[in-house]
Amino acid sequence: MIDSIQRFFNEMLAEGGGGEAAAPTLELATAALLFEVARADYHLDDSEVALLRELLQRRFDLAEADLDELMRLAREEADSAVDHYRFVSLVKEHFDYEQRCELVRMMWSLSLADGEQHHLEEHRIRRLAELLHVSHSDFIRTKLRVQEGEDG
């Protein structure tokens, strides 16, 4: 905890005393939010990482090298983010409601990729869905679609 606080202040000083960090891209914001769900249960399974790559590839149609870089940056962002405000804000600004519902569906797919339904992952998805202004009924509907295998 102390190390992360110290790192935060060191980064703020390096950026010129509190200047705003560079804004993430929409791809990075999406990937970081998905990565956050995948690691919410404190265990990042290989099946979750593989599905995350597949979901990002399908969503953004990236070259392999770009996908590798996006995965690396998303992991770094998820590890260092204090909160998700800038990611959520960017997604809300650029995704319409249906696209935000699709992102929640992708989160559910990731959370169930390892064959387990963990309460910490569900809590993280619920919180992110609220921040993304996805209704509770659509939050539940996307969960049921994924559980029933209609996630394609």
Which tens digits make up the pLDDT trace of 14-65?
Answer: 444 343 445 678 999 999 999 999 888 888 888 889 999 999 999 999 899 9
Whether the Cβ atoms of residue 110 and residue 51 lie closer than 8 Å to each other: yes
Show me where the domains of the chain are located: 26-147
pLDDT (tens digit per residue) in 98-132: 999 999 999 999 998 887 788 999 999 999 999 99
Q: Do residues 109 and 63 touch, judged by C-beta distance below 8 A?
A: no
Which CATH code is given to the segment(s) 26-147? 1.10.3680.10
Record the pTM: 0.78
Separation CA 90–CA 116 (nearest Å): 30
Buried/exposed code over 103-122 (b: 16+ C-beta within 10 A; e: otherwise): bbbbbbbbbbbbeeeeeebb
Rounded-to-integer distance, Cα 93 and Cα 77, Å: 19
- Residues 23 and 13: their CA atoms lie apart, in Å, by 18
